Structure 1
Amino acid sequence: MKAYRVQGLSCSNCAAKFERNVKELPGVQDAKINFGAAKIYVNGDTTIEDLEKAGAFENLKIREEREKKVERPPFWKQKENIKVYISALLVLLSWGLSTQYGDQHLIPTVGYGAAILIGGFSLFIKGLKNLSRLSFDMNTLMTIAIIGAAIIGEWGEGATVVILFAISEALERYSMDKARHSIASLMDIAPNEALVRRSGKELMVSVEDIQIGDTMIVKPGQKLAMDGVVTKGISTLNQAAITGESVPVTKVVEDEVFAGTLNEEGLLEVKVTKRVEDTTLSKIIHLVEEAQAERAPSQAFVDKFAKYYTPAIVIIALLIATIPPLLFNADWSTWVYEGLAVLVVGCPCALVVSTPVAIVTAIGNAARKGVLIKGGIHLEEVGALKAIAFDKTGTLTKGVPTVTNLVTFGGIEDELLAITAAIENGSQHPLATSIVREAETNNVNFSSIQVNNFQSITGKGVKAVVNNEIYYVGSPTLFSELHQTIDKNLNSQIEQLQNEGKTVMILGTAKEIQLLIAVADEIRDSSIKVISSLNDLGINTVMLTGDNQMTAYTIGKQVGVSGIEANLLPEDKLNFIKKFRNDHNSVAMVGDGVNDAPALAASTVGVAMGGAGTDTALETADIALMSDDLSKLPYTIKLSRKALQIIKQNITFSLAIKLLALLLVVPGWLTLWIAIFADMGATLLVTLNSLRLLRVKE
């Protein structure tokens, strides 16, 4: 499917109609509208001209997905708003003339009629077309009400309703544009061209023409146009646009860098590693826009409710207009007028817009803070969380363990470390990496040692053949199984190291233990504060780890989690999350998006750390914290709870104001003025209420 951007899309009903029109175009097999992101996806052959014809009923403008937005004139200068000014002027003049000549005089009536035609022409066209198809939407209801008002001689009120409705639509457009601005501004972060060296020459190249492997030259004060790896130079980069981190990060040769980040100090040469459509920034924009198309549970409820609500309002209005005159001999003119007012007040604008504006605003705000929420459903679920499970390594801790102790039993330390490093060099586990790093730091030569038959023992360690002997490197549990029992003196040494919060690994054979290696992983600076904030929010926090009970307890106690689960294999984490969900109903799992993928998938909300540059995290998690920073988690929960609160307020208010206005029918107090103010006021208030989500801070 090819994606196009749609300018001027402010009403969800119009979006649905535009989608239907596009589907009917010759050569189009299917089309899907994304109202939140103002995009349409088209499967088939069509042109921008044809698409604009399909959207001509709302004067929609279409452009290619990556094409620069055409700047619209200021809000007060826009063509559709100029008609409102003319109509308003005509109404004021007519109102002045009616005080002089009387309401029923021809001159003010002509003035009101002209105001209705100028301000409501496009409205009537849409409404009459819908009426011919028996499609009852906002335009249909307004058309019936205004024409009905004119028929019973209420020209002044009919004209006023047209103007107020036009003002309401204009402000709705403005509010929707403002809500979308947070995502639109992301698209402008990265430059459209970059300085590239090719064949020894430096030239400015459009990002669409930059190839993988090109060398990009980034001067101080410039933004990076593409993702890549630094090949020359040292500098600090402000990555706030991607990760939400306000503190610049130092980048050296072989470090990964992202499009949209700002080079602050040095000159950098960067080897491009991704095409423009595959950069981390492009993926963020794409995923956020897709997220805005995801229907939240509350939105699905509202859409379903509105489907039955609008026809019900038409029936109620018809009954109000006919029953009193037919059964109680009441005045036809009075009750037809009340019925028309019910049609106006019954417009479901506020109800329909109550959820999508809040969702679009919240997801956009989160994206700008470095939190990628992949759908309205996940936004709502985060606010309902009762418990959060954290992976330990790389989540609560820095994930870069270092060797702290080496204890030998009869052998030479460097030789035993060399054997261990040679075996662990074939493993990707963080603990294995720490041993290899320790050997390299101490200049221990292990690369010449021949390792055969390397085999991983899931959750316990590894084994391999070195110098024709089978060696094991793993946890004390592995050696308890191998040796049946461990010497008391050795066991007390292991326990002492574990009590210090260290993970103990052992090198040995099936007969003897030769080396104890203690490894410690530093706790993240933000972990203690984040866990404390979550506990204050009433969320149950649990740490999951494959480490032994003592090490897990020491770190868990330091961090402040309310529960600790140790000695867990990957499948144990998965089973724990399933049980945790049964106990707490709504549970999040926070991990690195790779090793914890099954547990992330089993949780209500999977939260991945360090989404920037990690495709797996971006794809598997429901929420990705773009920086490797847990401090974004309390903000995300606060934002979600605020969004849920605002959605509930919007739905309640939009229904309550309608109900209140409908009750005014009983004493016959409901007027077209009150009806349009109730409808317009409700729509504006729920939209402005939703925009408060832009102000939620970390």
Structure 2
Amino acid sequence: MSENISKKSVYRVQGFTCANCAAKFEQNVKALPKVQDARVNFGASKITVYGEASVQELEQAGAFEGLKVYPEKEQRAIESEPFWKRKSTITTVLSAIFLVAGWILGEEHPYSVVAFVLSIVIGGYALFVKGFKSLVRFNFNMNTLMTIAIIGAAAIGEWGEGATVVFLFAISEALERFSMDKARQSIRSLMNVAPKEAIIRRGDQEMLISVNDIDIGDIMIVKPGQKIAMDGRVVKGRSSVNQAAITGESVPVEKSPGDEVFAGTINEEGLLEVEITKRVEDTTISKIIHLVEEAQAEKAPSQAFVDRFAKYYTPAIMVMALGIAVIPPLFFGGEWGDWIYRGLALLVVGCPCALVISTPVSIVTAIGTAARNGVLIKGGIHLEETGSISVIAFDKTGTLTKGVPVVTDFVRLQGPAENELLAIAAAIEKWSQHPLASAIVRKADEVHVDLEAWKAEDFASITGKGAKAVVNGELYYIGSPRLFVDLQAIDSEVSSQIQRLQEQGKTVMLLGTERQIFALIAVADEVRQSSKEVIRKLHELGVQKTVMLTGDNLSTAKAIGEQVGIHEVKAELLPQHKLEAIKELKQMGKVAMVGDGVNDAPALASATVGIAMGGAGTDTALETADIALMADDLTKLPFTIKLSRNALKIIKQNITFSLVIKAIALLLIVPGWLTLWLAIFADMGATLIVTLNGLRLLRTKEE
């Protein structure tokens, strides 16, 4: 058995019409002799089978619904049969024709019963087959309730109402199928993003081959205007690439040798040669699709509540219906026909269709909308949690700032000219491993200093303070103010200039000799242009508190905090201190932590929701975070909060509306005001309203 259970197969399923049918299919597959377990993902139309089962056996298990099954890896176009050619559409139209004919003839006309019977048989045949099979197995689902109600209506002579119920139920099912198809389209559109073939150069030959046959290390040729078929690294050529499909970025990104490119993105103007770095199943787009589909299968808290409720609700409705139909005539002298009719009306209105679909349609739509906008939400639970976040904590470096230090101020005090001093500083720092050194070298490159003309000799690092080297025969020092305090006294004027720069959140380095200080160089990690606007939008959306958690010094952190408008700054923190800070913040409410997914792993894991920046190409971010912003772009955060809040609001609206409609309909039964056709109309209307309400999430956009 252990050998079989270790065998896991994933299949795509075509033909699901409702969540109940998906659950029934799952039960049937679990009952197969060599299957240990099976999990249906209704949102993604997939089934995962643990054990052994052939495609024929799986299709037999889904024969009650006419399901088609094929292996996940098999490339197959989605069968999209025109609406008017579908068997269900034809039977519904014929049922409607006979129903109208029956009503036109009038209930007193002898042939009206014939018309109603034909309407019931043609429109309800598939429903009755499912209903009887479920009834035999004591599986009381929607089909069972409807079958009993329609046959009961016919038995007490309410042929017209029975036929009306069949027709309205057929329309209700069609609407439910349409809505789930619409919600799933966002995932299907992702599947079609990357081409299925690519031009590969092997030796001197260029050939068009399937992406499944491409190996790591192959060279892919991508012409201007073509979609990139595989993940890889540019080895030749320059171009701008539109990465909107992966990261949601609207502006194309410049690519040159050494840069990463992703499958599904569009090469705009130049010819690129790309070395393949991942197989087709490991590309970023494949991982996104897999994670999004898995996310749809993970039940959100509200969906778990609905499932538990429906499990007890449906049998309870059947017992209540039986009680209403039998107790008043037996014990209180009520008319059998009247009370049986009321019991049947209760069966019809008791269908949990609207309630069952209220949550999944919202979650599938929201997760798909987020994915199309470059935000990967890894489950309904994270979507709901994000919707009720009250505190957001940010890492500083690489999140609120660009993570790349730059020279912000170069203050010449005395001695050689400014360019000459910059050349001396860059000549020394060229040999240093310190992160701030690269900022000085880049600054020298920007102003076109010829570093070949300035040679540093006898370079030595002074631990924790700076470095020294001989340039053009003179010994120079570069480093922190502490280094020059040891060498000489720093006068009050220079001290006040250093203090002023440090108060602005900048790191100050001094350049000079043992006797003189020639220049002050201020270096800072540049704040992202979008950070201030993002924090403002978050406060507008109702986030109660924003906090910066950083290992940087307090003055630098405070300066950046003030610049971006953040509420609170916690500085000089080690990773374990960030973890403690998150635990403290959780006492205020639900906390989101935004970081790069690597350095902040403990804090991301401890937060209610961990949000990683720049998930595209970063496996760690995709695996560890609950939500990944695929672009290195903080502006996606307010969109994510807004979408999650909208989704949470819509889910609550849908559940409340579904339950209220049921309660009102149940109250109407007591005075006998609820007719069969009104009961099905209420159920159909509720299903349609919660579905359309859920689909509103497709329209959520960035502001």
TM-score (norm: length of structure 1): 0.89
Inter-partner Cα distance in structure 2 for 1:650 and 1:474: 63
1:9 aligned partner, one-letter code: F
Alignment of 1:320 with 2:327, yes or no, is: no
- Offset of 1:14 from its aligned partner? 1.1
Identify the match of residue 219 of structure 2 among 192, 215, 226.
215
> Taking structure 1 as reference, are residues 190 and 438 closer, same or farther at Cα in structure 2, changes over 3 Å only?
same
Inter-partner Cα distance in structure 1 for 2:58 and 2:334: 51
1:564 aligned partner, one-letter code: V
Alignment of 1:36 with 2:40, yes or no, is: no
| Aligned residues of 1:422 and 1:446 also touching (Cα < 8 A) | no
- Offset of 1:423 from its aligned partner? 5.0
- Offset of 1:465 from its aligned partner? 13
> Taking structure 1 as reference, are residues 43 and 524 closer, same or farther at Cα in structure 2, changes over 3 Å only?
same
Identify the match of residue 109 of structure 1 among 105, 109, 113.
113
Alignment of 1:19 with 2:26, yes or no, is: yes
Inter-partner Cα distance in structure 1 for 2:331 and 2:480: 88
Q: Deviations over 1:522-557 (max 9, x none)?
A: 221211111111112221112222222222222211
Q: Deviations over 1:24-70 (max 9, x none)?
A: 22433322111111111122333222221111111111123242233
- Offset of 1:578 from its aligned partner? 1.2
- Offset of 1:388 from its aligned partner? 0.8
Aligned match of 2:657: 653
2:555 aligned partner, one-letter code: M
> Taking structure 1 as reference, are residues 182 and 70 closer, same or farther at Cα in structure 2, changes over 3 Å only?
closer
1:77 aligned partner, one-letter code: K
1:63 aligned partner, one-letter code: Y
Identify the match of residue 642 of structure 1 among 646, 656, 659.
646
User: Which one is further off, 338-347 or 125-134?
Assistant: 125-134
Q: Deviations over 1:584-621 (max 9, x none)?
A: 21111111111111111111111111111111111111
> Taking structure 1 as reference, are residues 449 and 133 closer, same or farther at Cα in structure 2, changes over 3 Å only?
farther
Identify the match of residue 71 of structure 1 among 59, 71, 79.
79
Inter-partner Cα distance in structure 1 for 2:458 and 2:662: 81
- Offset of 1:421 from its aligned partner? 5.3
Identify the match of residue 376 of structure 1 among 374, 377, 380.
380
1:25 aligned partner, one-letter code: L
Aligned match of 1:91: 99
Q: Deviations over 1:154-183 (max 9, x none)?
A: 112111111111111111111100000011
Q: How many residues align?
A: 673
Inter-partner Cα distance in structure 2 for 1:596 and 1:447: 38
In structure 2, the gaps of 5 or more residues are 1-7, 416-420, 471-476
Inter-partner Cα distance in structure 2 for 1:163 and 1:305: 28
Identify the match of residue 695 of structure 2 among 685, 691, 696.
691
| Aligned residues of 1:75 and 1:174 also touching (Cα < 8 A) | no
Aligned match of 1:7: 14
Aligned match of 2:63: 56
1:578 aligned partner, one-letter code: K
User: Which one is further off, 62-71 or 667-676?
Assistant: 62-71
Alignment of 1:545 with 2:553, yes or no, is: no
Identify the match of residue 498 of structure 1 among 489, 495, 502.
502
The DSSP-based 3-state class of the residue aligned with 2:235 is: strand
1:529 aligned partner, one-letter code: E
The DSSP-based 3-state class of the residue aligned with 1:670 is: coil
> Taking structure 1 as reference, are residues 269 and 199 closer, same or farther at Cα in structure 2, changes over 3 Å only?
same
User: Which one is further off, 600-609 or 352-361?
Assistant: 600-609
Aligned match of 2:366: 362
Aligned match of 1:458: none
Inter-partner Cα distance in structure 2 for 1:567 and 1:408: 31
Alignment of 1:599-610 (within 5 A): 599-610=603-614
1:570 aligned partner, one-letter code: P
Aligned match of 2:156: 152
The DSSP-based 3-state class of the residue aligned with 1:652 is: helix
- Offset of 1:320 from its aligned partner? 1.0
Aligned match of 1:305: 309
Alignment of 1:618-633 (within 5 A): 618-633=622-637
TM-score (norm: length of structure 2): 0.89
Identify the match of residue 424 of structure 1 among 415, 425, 433.
433
> Taking structure 1 as reference, are residues 267 and 659 closer, same or farther at Cα in structure 2, changes over 3 Å only?
same
Identify the match of residue 395 of structure 1 among 382, 395, 399.
399
- Offset of 1:507 from its aligned partner? 11
User: Which one is further off, 277-286 or 60-69?
Assistant: 60-69
Aligned match of 1:337: 341
Identify the match of residue 577 of structure 1 among 564, 582, 605.
582
Alignment of 1:224 with 2:214, yes or no, is: no
User: Which one is further off, 324-333 or 109-118?
Assistant: 109-118
> Taking structure 1 as reference, are residues 275 and 110 closer, same or farther at Cα in structure 2, changes over 3 Å only?
same
2:433 aligned partner, one-letter code: E
The DSSP-based 3-state class of the residue aligned with 1:190 is: coil
Aligned match of 2:680: 676
In structure 1, the gaps of 5 or more residues are 456-460
Alignment of 1:557 with 2:562, yes or no, is: yes
2:28 aligned partner, one-letter code: N
Aligned match of 2:473: none
Q: Deviations over 1:489-531 (max 9, x none)?
A: 58655423212321346999xxxx9998632122212111111
Identify the match of residue 124 of structure 1 among 107, 121, 128.
128
Identify the match of residue 288 of structure 1 among 272, 288, 292.
292
The DSSP-based 3-state class of the residue aligned with 2:79 is: coil
